[in-house]
Amino acid sequence: MLFWGLNAFGWFFIAYAVLINTSFLVLTGLAVADFWAYLRRVDFAAYDETFAEPLTPGISILMPAYNESAGIVESVAAMTALRYPDFEVVVIDDGSKDDTSKQLIDAFDMVEVPIVVPVEIETAGHVTATYLSRRGNNNVLLVRKTNGGKADALNVGINAARKPLVCMVDADSLLDPDALLHVSRPFADDPDRVVASGGVVRVANGSDISRGRVTRVRMPNRWLPRIQVVEYLRAFLVGRTGWSRLGGLLIISGAFGVFRKDVLLELGGLATDCIGEDAELVVRLHRWLGDTGRDGRVVFVAEPVAWTEAPEDRAVLRKQRRRWHRGLTEILSKHRGMVFRPRYGMVGLVSMPWFIAFELLAPFVEVFGVAFLAVALVLMSSDALGLTDLQLVNQDVVWILLSTSLLYAVVLTLAALLIEELSFRRYRGLRDLAIAVWAALEENIGYRQMNAWWRAGGSIEAWRGTKHDWGDMQRRGLGKT
């Protein structure tokens, strides 16, 4: 009885690992098809011509800020230096207690100007003053409001935005100079249907950074960052490209997304009652598209556009991953009504169920899987040492489980590296490659299990409904695929 029980568990974990990894293999295949097309298009992209053309939609970049006086000037300066013909930077000071606003007013030579901020989305905080820069194209707008949280600040920003497209970006994201050109292109190509587009996020650690730009891309040497580089490549670059190709892109990253302003107004802006408000917005957008029967598209742009400083410290990483998974749990339970409903198309039929089965529940399965392996190994070694002769575990099951979960995962990560090598090729040199390959292996020993534990904790937090932690920690987006 016990024998069959243990081995049955083993087979369950094997089946789960095979399913999760094979589904990711399918996504990888889809991504390859997409990059193949990208490579062929790149020569004639003619981005420069976009500048002189009519019909290039204007973009308002929203930057919510709370007590960020240290870095805000540099972040905003980097934003104003993007290449795009028509854009403004809207900084929303969410009632900072420090001198965030003063820093901006001094650095950008701002004066108080009565910009009208119509209350099209109801907000908790209210606008106290608006300032406009006397510098450059006068395209830096500062909106001061009473405190209401990040989502509330973004909603005020949407109200204040004066352009037809709205770009939400984390204040500490490093954007490539052409980021807006890349991410706005889908809107210009298909203005009637594209409602949102998102960019890929990469890990900046280890690279050379100057004046808010990644100037030379390199692999970090330290343990956690180097693993996160390959993790991001696999999850964001390959995973999201695959989903996008399939037409089931559920989530685009909060670190860099562009939306049609009129659609955001229809949706009522961002939800202020959940953690991953940026991801929740996209899921709600899908829901709205399905409910209203509109033919809208959420697209993903694979060109490298946004870079982020990944946590180098275990405690910070733990907090981040718990938060991500808590956010994902809340979103999936809030919108569980979309599952298996044909009205929501690919998102309802495939993406949502996949996310629940292989993203939401994965940490739990993984934690139990590790426990199973530990028990099995103890029993096996005790048999082998002659201490016992229980023969409770089938050794073959253990080997199959190890290869289908760990080795298979390594192969997928290596495939992601190969895709990057064949498409964007942002890393150079054999040393960086050796680090990346090593990181692909070492991710599976310790890092993954640790991550699973944290993420499981995030879900439990969500289910227990503990109070939200509004700490200003990094919120980059949810789910890894």
Interacting residues toward another protein by CB under 8 A: 40-41, 43-44, 46, 48-56, 81, 83, 85, 111, 113-116, 118, 120, 132-138, 162, 176-178, 188-192, 211, 213, 394, 396, 399-400, 403-404, 407-408, 410-411, 414-415, 417-418, 421-422, 425, 428-430, 433, 437
In the complex, least distance from residue 335 CB atom to another protein, rounded to whole angstroms: 31
CB burial of 128-153 (b: ≥16 within 10 Å; e: otherwise) equals eebbbbeeeeebbbbbbbeebbbbbb
In the complex, least distance from residue 338 CB atom to another protein, rounded to whole angstroms: 29
List the structure tokens of 190: 């298909």
Only one residue has tokens 């891309």, namely 217
Is the CB of residue 220 less than 8 Å from the CB of residue 206?
yes
In the complex, least distance from residue 436 CB atom to another protein, rounded to whole angstroms: 8
Distance CA 284, CA 290 (A): 10
Is the CB of residue 436 less than 8 Å from the CB of residue 417?
yes
In the complex, least distance from residue 78 CB atom to another protein, rounded to whole angstroms: 8
Distance CA 324, CA 184 (A): 27
In the complex, least distance from residue 377 CB atom to another protein, rounded to whole angstroms: 16
In the complex, least distance from residue 159 CB atom to another protein, rounded to whole angstroms: 9
In the complex, least distance from residue 357 CB atom to another protein, rounded to whole angstroms: 23
Which of residues 169 and 317 has its CB atom nearest to another protein in the complex? 169
In the complex, least distance from residue 54 CB atom to another protein, rounded to whole angstroms: 6
Which of residues 356 and 402 has its CB atom nearest to another protein in the complex? 402
Which of residues 50 and 67 has its CB atom nearest to another protein in the complex? 50
State how far Cα 15 lies from the chain centre.
Answer: 28
Q: How far is CA 286 from CA 250, 283, 291, 298, 327, in A?
A: 8, 5, 9, 8, 17
Which of residues 296 and 353 has its CB atom nearest to another protein in the complex? 296
Which of residues 136 and 337 has its CB atom nearest to another protein in the complex? 136
In the complex, least distance from residue 74 CB atom to another protein, rounded to whole angstroms: 13
Which of residues 197 and 459 has its CB atom nearest to another protein in the complex? 197
Which of residues 45 and 361 has its CB atom nearest to another protein in the complex? 45
Which of residues 93 and 176 has its CB atom nearest to another protein in the complex? 176
In the complex, least distance from residue 192 CB atom to another protein, rounded to whole angstroms: 7
* φ/ψ (deg, to 5) at 286: -60, -45
Which of residues 171 and 400 has its CB atom nearest to another protein in the complex? 400
In the complex, least distance from residue 128 CB atom to another protein, rounded to whole angstroms: 15
Is the CB of residue 219 less than 8 Å from the CB of residue 206?
yes
Which of residues 143 and 250 has its CB atom nearest to another protein in the complex? 143
Which of residues 298 and 417 has its CB atom nearest to another protein in the complex? 417
In the complex, least distance from residue 422 CB atom to another protein, rounded to whole angstroms: 7
Which of residues 118 and 386 has its CB atom nearest to another protein in the complex? 118
